[in-house]
Amino acid sequence: MAYLQPSEFVTKLIDAGESKVFMSTKDTLIRSYMAGAILALAAAFAISINVNTGQPLAGAVLFPVGFVLLYLLGFDLLTGVFTLVPLALIDKRPGVTVAGMLRNWGLVFVGNFGGAFTVAVFMAIIFTYGFTAEPNAIGQKIGVIGEGRTVGYADHGGGGMLTLFIRGVLCNWMVSTGVVAAFMSTQVTGKILAMWMPIMLFFYMGFEHSIVNMFLFPSGLLLGGSFTVSDYLIWNEIPTVIGNLVGGFTFVGLTLYSTHIKTGAKRNTAAVPAE
């Protein structure tokens, strides 16, 4: 795998976060649009596998193909920049500011949503023959997912909101681990293998990913799901985004930075003879 040591790949993470802050608006929007679209296609692919085979594990095993492709192509997900960009800020890279970080996050959010929504419309057309027929089995499944993960949480009140938030935290703990994994190897095969594992885990466990949800819930609304736009925003997207931010930065970015960059191994000078 041509494995890099943590101190090496964490430095590369900081470099990547710095570069994203200074990326042009055009490039940021295009890269994030394509990332949202590819991840949405992968989600549609995985759900199709689940419906056609009745085996959720099969869909989870194959879903990471989208994540792998978009990162090998150099595209950006909001969940990834939640982890990478703050590292450049806390490392005090020249010119990296809170305003620059928020600008990057905002542009990536818009681009991701645009890409995911485009695929949501395309899939809704496919599942309904251009909205001339009732949704097929896959479309019906997406509608049920949208209901269960909006009003399903709302039915439990505060406990449902807490569950939603924790699922968002756990999701980006795993997804950001996948982002980091792409920097662990200098070989494509090594990158793919390392990225695949945490992404498979998050999808099978049903954790909440803000970008996947940008596809699932607009699709569900287009396909007749029994929930509203406000249900989607309040009882899924907004808490999921916050949970993704906390999970990625706290459990991945900050822990790696504090142990491999901020705190290094101290030299033992006790046994070194005086000159």
Q: State the CATH number of the domain containing residue 17.
A: 1.20.1080.10
- Percent of the chain residues topping a pLDDT of 70: 95
Domain that residue 38 falls in: 6-260
Q: DSSP secondary-structure letter at 272?
A: S
User: Looking at the domain assignment, is residue 121 inside a domain?
Assistant: yes
pLDDT at 100 over 90: yes
pLDDT at 263: 67
* 232-39-187-8 Cα dihedral, nearest 10 degrees: -20
Average pLDDT over residues 259-264: 79
- Percent of the chain residues topping a pLDDT of 90: 93
Quick: pLDDT tens for 2-41: 899 999 999 999 999 999 999 999 999 999 999 999 999 9
**DSSP helix/strand/coil, 270:** coil
User: Looking at the domain assignment, is residue 272 inside a domain?
Assistant: no
Is residue 272 very low, low, confident or very high in pLDDT (cuts 50, 70, 90)? very low
- Domain tally, the chain: 1
User: Looking at the domain assignment, is residue 120 inside a domain?
Assistant: yes
For 231, half-sphere exposure in the C-beta direction (CA atoms, 13 angstrom radius) is 18
Q: Backbone phi, then psi, for 185, in 5-degree steps?
A: -130, 155
pLDDT at 275 over 60: no
pLDDT at 254: 96
Quick: pLDDT tens for 121-161: 999 999 999 999 999 999 999 999 999 999 999 999 999 99
User: Looking at the domain assignment, is residue 274 inside a domain?
Assistant: no
User: Looking at the domain assignment, is residue 124 inside a domain?
Assistant: yes
pLDDT at 273 over 70: no
Is residue 262 very low, low, confident or very high in pLDDT (cuts 50, 70, 90)? confident
Mean per-residue pLDDT over the chain, rounded:
94
Is residue 54 very low, low, confident or very high in pLDDT (cuts 50, 70, 90)? very high
Give the count of beta carbons closer than 10 Å to the beta carbon of residue 266: 6
pLDDT at 46 over 50: yes
- Rounded to a whole number of angstroms, the distance between the first and last alpha carbons of the chain is 43
User: Looking at the domain assignment, is residue 253 inside a domain?
Assistant: yes
User: Looking at the domain assignment, is residue 208 inside a domain?
Assistant: yes
pLDDT at 191 over 90: yes
Instruction: Please answer whether residues 247 and 172 qualify as being in contact, where contact means their C-beta atoms are separated by less than 8 angstroms.
Output: yes
User: Looking at the domain assignment, is residue 205 inside a domain?
Assistant: yes
d(CA 45, CA 67): 12
Least confident piece of the model among 89-93, 148-152, 244-248, 271-275: 271-275
Is residue 264 very low, low, confident or very high in pLDDT (cuts 50, 70, 90)? low
Is residue 1 very low, low, confident or very high in pLDDT (cuts 50, 70, 90)? low
pLDDT at 181 over 90: yes
